[in-house]
Amino acid sequence: AGFFTSEPVLEAVKIVLSTLSSLTASGTYASRTLGNAEQNMLVADCAHLARLTCLTALQRSRPMGPYDEGDDDLKMAVLDAVSRNLRQLLLTPASFGAVSSSGKRQGGGSGLLPPAPGSRVFPLWQSASLARCCPPSVACTYPDLTAVDEPDRAFVVALMAEIHIMLLDKRRDIREQAVVIVVALLQQRRGIMSELLITDISRGDGRTETVDLMNRGGFGALLVAHEAATIAENISTVPRRRSLSRRGSSGSGSSGGKMKYASFFEWLDRNQAQVASVFHGIHIQASRLLPGIDVGASSPEEAIENEQKVMLLKLTSQDSSDRTILGGLERAELAQRSHDKTAESHALWKRQ
């Protein structure tokens, strides 16, 4: 099933993040009643579902076709939710091995194998895993957690692919919110970010050029500028803060954010070609690490058109009045004419 309006998409994001928060926060019913093994298992699967939900919601906020303008308010709301819950979204339970600064698991084995059938935690795993939602004969659109190598790395790669689009958005508040997430990723997964932002690009003449957006680019400078601004805010005196507040609340916070990230966006504008070449590779990695994440539900127009084409093929194939070669040619011509008329009707309908 698909959602064709923003409200249920945002509601799904809120529900899954609220569930993840309840599983990870201390003092909740889940933390009081679950053992470590059960809690780690639920956190792992819930974090995986939350990551996929947030990524899909970000995609759904963008224009999906000529008749879908997207939803900037949904985009802003999901970016804000990801920013506020990024630590939980990057969680890897201790039972699956410690996570180093580069985001890679330490320890032998995959560490993400499901429990054996008949074990104490198997019913709990069935209730939380994506694997139970898909019959054996059908391939799941989104990969189950057990099929994803380094889940937090896969999420960072896919999230950065989406962030690249948000950094080029026409709305300044969306661009700045995307920068906030980039800063958080640089702080929490610096190793993964360095691997993504420092890469070798093949040129047309067969040469390879190393493009460094981290140490010799604006992303590393962005982190330094953010940390410097944070220190300046922390050491500023109370009277100074009050004097700033008396200048008027309207636009003061946004102007401060504009000044903080102005140099980064200037650098981004000057180096669009290099940035685009690096993020092209990131988009390719995202499709490989999370296959199916870029596949969305059909729009209502596409769903209706596809269903009508299927019905047309069924009608022509069920016609048994003439099975001769000549009859087959006539049916093929009739099917083509019907298909052309259907396409013409849809084209007229879409223009209205």
Per-residue pLDDT reduced to its tens digit, 183-240: 999 999 999 999 999 988 877 667 788 888 988 778 988 888 887 777 877 776 445 5
Mean pLDDT, the chain, whole residue set: 76
Tokens of 156: 């960072």
pLDDT in tens, 109-168: 334 667 778 887 778 777 777 666 666 666 666 677 766 778 888 999 999 999 999 999
Q: How far is CA 12 from CA 1, 9, 185, 189, 297, in A?
A: 13, 5, 23, 26, 15
Quick one: CA torsion of 5, 10, 15, 16, rounded to 10 degrees? 110
Q: Report whether 299 contacts 67 (CB < 8 A).
A: yes
- pLDDT of 90 strictly over 70: yes
Range 222-231 contact pairs with CB under 8 angstroms and sequence separation of 24 or more: 222/179, 222/182, 222/183, 222/186, 222/261, 222/264, 223/183, 223/186, 223/187, 225/260, 225/261, 225/263, 225/264, 226/183, 226/260, 229/260
pLDDT of 252 reads 42
d(CA 314, CA 310): 6
CB 2 within 8 A of CB 298: yes
The pTM of the full predicted model, rounded to 2 decimals, is 0.70
Residue 113 CB contacts under 8 Å (≥ 6 apart), including other chains: 146
Whether the predicted pLDDT of 28 surpasses 60? yes
Measured at the alpha carbon of residue 278, what is the angle toward residues 64 and 280, in degrees to the nearest 5? 30
CB 72 within 8 A of CB 163: no
Look up residue 167 and give its two tokens: 């950094």
Q: What is the DSSP letter of 196?
A: H
Q: Which letter does DSSP use for residue 138 in this model?
A: S
pLDDT at 257 over 70: no
